[in-house]
Structures are given as C-alpha cells and as structure tokens.
Amino acid sequence: MIEILSGIFLLLGTLFILLSAIGILKMPDLYTRMSATTKASTLGIGLVLIGTSVYWQDFGIASRALAIIVFLFLTAPVAAHIIGRAAYFGKVPLWEKTKIDEFGKRPDDVGD
Amino acid sequence: MNPFLFNILLAIAWMMLVGEITAGTFAAGMVVAYLILWFSRSAWGESRYFSKIPLVIMFVLYFFKELIIANLKVAFDIVTPKDYMEPGVIAVPLDVETDIEITLFANFVTLTPGTLSIDVSPDRKTLYVHALYVKDADRFRNELKNGLEKRLIEVMR
C-alpha cells in the first residue's frame, strides 16, 4: 500500500519534470520557457521528495525533505525573476504573438 | 503571558506526559496545545496569534491549489501540439507596501506557473508581470489582486 502511494507521488513528480523538459524545447521565447520550466520542475521535485518520505516513514528523512521543499520554493522564483529581468533589460525579444507589453511603455524609462 | 510561549510550554508538558522526547511528539503537542488555547482564546484578550494561524494555513492551502491548477494548465499546453498561449507583460498596481510584502508577493507570483514577475517600478507602486494566459489585461489584474494579493495582505497585517 505504502509502495503504491509513494510510487504515485514519484511518478507524478517525474512526469512534471519531464513535461518541463519538453517545455524548454517547445516554448517559443525565453520568458515563456522560464514560466513553463521553473515551476513545473519545482512541483516535480517536491512530489518526488514527498514520495520518498512517504516510503521511508522516518522523521529525519521527512524533515529533510520538508526543508529541501521550503528552500526550493524560496530560491527558485528568485532565480527565475532575476533571469527574466536580466533578459528583459538585455533586450531579449518577446514572442511575436505576445499581446501586450505594458512594461515597454512604462512612463519612466529607467534601467535600460 | 504570551500565548505562543504558553503554547510551547504546553507542548513540552505533552511531551513529558507521552514520555517520548522526540520532534514528533513535540509537533503533536504544539497542535493539541494550540487547539486548547484556541478554545480558551477569550481569556487572552486581543491576540493576533489566534486569528493569524488559521489564515496562514488557508493561505498555504490556497497557494498549493493555485500551484497545481496552473501547473496542469501549462502541462496541457506543453503536451498538445497547438499553442493556446496568449502571453503578455502586465502592469499590476500594488497594494502591498513594505519590502517584505512586495518580495513575498513577487515570489508567489513567480511560483505560480504561467506568471513571472519581471520588475517593480522605482516608486514601488507597480509590479510588471509576464503571464502566459492573458485573455484580458484588466481581468488578469483583478484576478491577481483579489486572489493572491488580498489573501497575502490578510495574513501579513
């Protein structure tokens, strides 16, 4: 029973990681790629860690898994934000189908 | 006495009564003690300790719900050959004010798949967000403000 439950978590987690890897190849520009990959892989690694702690049912392992998840959720968005920001100021082009860019016509043009 | 301190003392008492000094019994003691204190909350007068913890738990649950829904949406877009994306960069006016609130809000926005915070304006009134699914800019703004930002302000103030 425990094996099945933790297997489901592990499978779901690896599925999300696989999808984010496909996302890197398929998405049209840097921003959509960042959107698709960082988050799906964060959730994926989180699910894999939950699956591991469900299988071992050990407090030491569960607490370490929880700590890894917390730090992952703290650091991953900062990295994604910095890459996205650097790309925008470095004039990496947006996808041609991007509908609106309210950042481009912001009133004070600082930072460029 | 501070309710949080009392909560810890009760948890230690629980640990001694159970007879196992482990982090597991301490955690269980914290939960039980919090419930006991919650039932006697009128004796403590005005304390944020009782109103905030349920809000924090609600916020975490809400956040994970959003995280999973948005992840499935992006996952669906990745596996199907057609692109449903309508990306755009949206200026979201901010009601959050302090540094820690803005940081948390920007972080939560980036963690929700399909959105990526790019920059905060120098006057700290606007957050620029890159989003994958923008049907309508004003609707997107409202959803973000009435969902995540409203809940974050409830928790933080």
Residue B1's pLDDT is 66
Residue A104's pLDDT is 67
**Paired sense of beta strands B88-93 and B126-131, if any:** antiparallel
pLDDT greater than 60 at residue A111 = no
Give A112's pLDDT tier (boundaries 50, 70, 90): very low
CB contact under 8 A, A16 and B75: yes
Residues B69 and B20 in one domain: no
Instruction: Please provide residue A78's backbone torsions phi and psi, each rounded to the nearest 5 degrees.
Output: -65, -45
Residue A105's pLDDT is 58
Residue A56's pLDDT is 87
CB contact under 8 A, A40 and B89: no
Q: What is the pLDDT of residues B32-89, one digit of tens each?
A: 988 888 888 777 777 777 778 888 888 889 888 888 888 888 888 888 877 777 788 8
Q: Is A101 helix (H, G, I), strand (E, B) or coil?
A: strand
Residues B69 and B134 in one domain: yes
Rounded mean pLDDT of B93-117?
A: 84
- Better-scored residue on pLDDT, B44 or A62: A62
Total count of domains within chain B:
2
Chain pair A-B, CB pairs under 8 angstroms: 125
Q: What is the pLDDT of residues A79-94, one digit of tens each?
A: 888 888 888 888 777 7
Residue A6's pLDDT is 93
Nearest C-alpha in B relative to A47: B68
Q: Domain map of chain A by residue range?
A: 2-89
Residues B12 and B89 in one domain: no
Rounded mean pLDDT of B113-124?
A: 82
Residue A47's pLDDT is 92
Residue B14, domain extent = 3-44
Burial B68-86 (b: 16+ CB within 10 A, else e): eebbeebbebbeeeebebe
pLDDT greater than 50 at residue A110 = no
Residue B110's pLDDT is 85
CB contact under 8 A, B70 and A94: no
Residue B117 pairs with which residues in a beta bridge?
B129
CB contact under 8 A, A39 and B137: no
Residues B12 and B54 in one domain: no
Return d(Cα B66, Cα B68) in angstroms, integer: 6
Return d(Cα B42, Cα B46) in angstroms, integer: 8
What string of DSSP letters covers chain B?
--HHHHHHHHHHHHHHHHT--SHHHHHHHHHHHHHHHHHTGGGG-S-HHHHHHHHHHHHHHHHHHHHHHHHHHHHHHHHSSS---B-EEEEEE----SHHHHHHHHHHHHHSTTEEEEEE-TTS-EEEEEESB-S-HHHHHHHHIIIIIHHHHHHH-
* CB contacts, 8 Å: B121 with chain A: 106, 108
Q: What is the pLDDT of residues A1-48, one digit of tens each?
A: 889 999 999 999 999 899 888 888 888 888 888 887 777 778 889 999
Residues B10 and B54 in one domain: no
Residues B143 and B81 in one domain: yes
Give A67's pLDDT tier (boundaries 50, 70, 90): very high
pLDDT greater than 90 at residue B120 = no
